[in-house]
Amino acid sequence: DPVYEDMLSESRKMITNEKIDAYNEAAVRILNSSSRNSKAKVKVFSVSKLIAQETIMKSADGLHLPESSRDTNAMILMNVYCNKIMKPIDGSCCQPQPPLTLIQKIAFCFFTLSIFGYLIISLIHRNNYRKNKSCTDLESGEEKKPAISTPNVSTLEMLLHCFCKLGLIMTYFYLCDRANLFMKENKFYTHSSFFIPIVYILVLGVFYTENTKETKVLNREQTDEWKGWMQLVILIYHISGASTFLPVYMHIRVLVAAYLFQTGYGHFSYFWIKGDFGVYRVCQVLFRLNFLVVVLCIVMDRPYQFYYFVPLVTVWFMVIYATLAVWPQIVQKKANGNCLWHFGLLLKLICLLTCIYFLSYSQGAFEKIFSFWPLSKCFELNGNVYEWWFRWKLDRYVVFHGMLFAFIYLALQKHQMISEGKGDPLFSNRVSNVLLFISIVSFLTYSVWASSCKNKTECNELHPSVSVVQILAFILIRNIPGYVRSVYSSFFAWFGKISLELFICQYHIWLAADTKGILVLIPGYPMFNVLVSTFIFVCVAHEISQITNDLAQIVVPKDNSTLLKRLLCIAGFFSGLHFFSAMQDQSRH
């Protein structure tokens, strides 16, 4: 290793780095001179020299290296020889690129064919369009009107266009988090790395304030705004590694619970008011929730449960649907004719709460239910359903709270017990002021309790029962004053419309190593790297949202007979997926 010549004693002044380099070159040349086989040549640990050049200045005598260099050398040696065998999730160094699975190869071929198919069809349509364009009449000198003003886009062309864009996006996903093309870096939490970006986006959100189209409680603009700022806070939480700071962790748990609260509130309100329990509605919701995750499971070779939030909202949607659709179907129109139907609905909700309570305290029963095929294929992670049990149990009551809140709110609205006019407080001035005071105190009380948490396990046990306190407090604070209810932030609402895509895409193209690290597109410039990767990440999430909406209109038609045929095709697709997955597992064993 090199020496620090300025610190050498007089008796060691003859040791120079120039001579050391010459000796090293001679040693390597002699060691490898008798070996004609390139594989048998001696591999020199040359990185040791680079480490020594950085650490020798900390040496006590200029000759002997400090212990930090030995530790770094040992770490690199272990990475070189151990990572390719142990394959740690947080180690991007020295691991061979995982081979493509059979399903990934089929997906690659499918997207490639879609790209070529779209190019061929678009060229044919463009040529036909040019032939029908306006041309000059040579005799009259007048310009004829075109037979077709715009090129017609067929369903097949739109479908191929969506898959073409999706194929390019999935290629980017694979290169970012599976191909070892880009570097990854670890997360290091500091208070400033979390709170400064939070303040920045809050200021931006306030600057983009607009009037709402309607002034109802939890109107569409308001819920989009709510989803948007929560998603941005969660993204900052993930990239800053703030999960190590317990008070922040507990508040983020409330944000995740608030998403599920909105799931209960939104779907209950729809079924209660519309009374639409048709297959079309169910398929539309399931497709929009699961399309991106299914594609990522195929392309990135990850289990469905890995993207835990989507299975969570999917199961809760089906629970809400089953609760309201099962006989007797009780909807608002029927309940208005007879108040006894309201008690019938409350009875259904009590039965749902009882089931939730039973499963939350019976892990064995829960695991038996989700260990049956084909549910086990969806909810197992690392060979068991414990992760799914943990995620479900963590927010087990909040969807029920959202359904109950929707029922109470819609009942109050129906009996005109609340005022939702523009600028009007929700209740009378006295009641509004009392509720507002209680809400602020409750909100702050929860924050104080969460900040005083000492043990994550104990706090997680209490979280399912108390998270609704801060959620309801926020809703009342946001909606009781009429002037606050009448405005929203279009900045946050824009992000709220793509919140699901942002949550899922972050796994691979913003974070890295399956959320354990941070993607590095531009090494050496951390701030510039975050800006560039964030810009690409948001654009990709927005584009995927558009693709999902377009495909939902094509794949899930309103006609029941056509929809049934599509469902059979989808069932065949998943059967084929299961078949190839089974073949793949057999080949591995």
Q: What is the mean pLDDT of residues 364-383?
A: 86
Helix, strand, coil percentages, rounded to 5, for the chain: 70, 5, 25
- Do the Cβ atoms of 496 and 545 come closer than 8 Å? no
Tell me which of 584 and 510 has the higher pLDDT: 510
pLDDT at 37: 65
SS (H, E, C) 368-413: HHHCCCCHHHHHCECCECHHHHHHHHHCCCHHHHHHHHHHHHHHHH
List the domain boundaries for the chain.
5-80, 155-556, 561-588
Nearest residue to 65 via CA among 79, 53, 78: 53
Residue 438 CB neighbours (<10 A): 12
Could you give the CA distance from residue 152 to residue 129 in angstroms, rounded to a whole number? 9
Q: What is the pLDDT of residues 274-310, one digit of tens each?
A: 999 999 999 999 999 999 999 999 999 999 999 999 9
Which residues of 164-282 form beta strands (DSSP E)?
Answer: 183-185, 209-211
Asked if the model's pLDDT at residue 336 lies above 60, the reply is: yes
pLDDT bucket at 140, cuts 50 / 70 / 90: very low
DSSP 46-60: THHHHHHHHHGGG-S
pLDDT bucket at 551, cuts 50 / 70 / 90: very high
pLDDT at 92: 60
Q: Could you tell me how far CA 295 lies from the centroid of its own chain?
A: 13
Q: What is the pLDDT of residues 117-132, one digit of tens each?
A: 999 988 888 887 777 7
The mean of the pLDDT values for the chain is 89
Residue 452's alpha-carbon distances to 446, 448, 575, in angstroms, are 10, 6, 50
- 380 DSSP 8-state letter: -
Q: If you search the block for the tokens 């678009």, which residue do you land on? A: 122
Q: If you search the block for the tokens 């509130």, which residue do you land on? A: 265
- 37 DSSP 8-state letter: S
Tell me which of 142 and 462 has the higher pLDDT: 462
Could you give the CA distance from residue 401 to residue 472 in angstroms, rounded to a whole number? 9
Could you give the CA distance from residue 427 to residue 409 in angstroms, rounded to a whole number? 12
pLDDT at 177: 87
Could you give the CA distance from residue 47 to residue 51 in angstroms, rounded to a whole number? 6
Structure tokens at 68: 């930090």
Could you give the CA distance from residue 330 to residue 412 in angstroms, rounded to a whole number? 18
pLDDT at 524: 86
Q: What is the pLDDT of residues 6-45, one digit of tens each?
A: 888 888 989 999 999 999 989 888 888 866 666 667 778 8
Q: If you search the block for the tokens 């001696």, which residue do you land on? A: 42
- 455 DSSP 8-state letter: -
Residue 487 bridge partners (DSSP): 211
pLDDT at 588: 62
Q: What is the mean pLDDT of residues 471-493?
A: 95
Q: What is the pLDDT of residues 391-427, one digit of tens each?
A: 999 999 999 999 999 999 999 998 889 998 888 899 9
pTM: 0.87
pLDDT bucket at 149, cuts 50 / 70 / 90: very low
pLDDT at 39: 64
Asked if the model's pLDDT at residue 325 lies above 60, the reply is: yes
User: What are the phi and psi torsion angles at 217 (to 5°)?
Assistant: -65, 135
User: What are the phi and psi torsion angles at 91 (to 5°)?
Assistant: -115, 110
pLDDT at 38: 60
Asked if the model's pLDDT at residue 356 lies above 80, the reply is: yes
Q: What is the pLDDT of residues 71-103, one digit of tens each?
A: 888 988 888 888 888 777 666 677 777 788 889
Could you give the CA distance from residue 577 to residue 571 in angstroms, rounded to a whole number? 10
- Do the Cβ atoms of 225 and 489 come closer than 8 Å? yes
pLDDT at 586: 67
Asked if the model's pLDDT at residue 141 lies above 60, the reply is: no
DSSP 132-173: TS--B-TTT-PBPPPS-SS----HHHHHHHHHHHHHHHHHHH
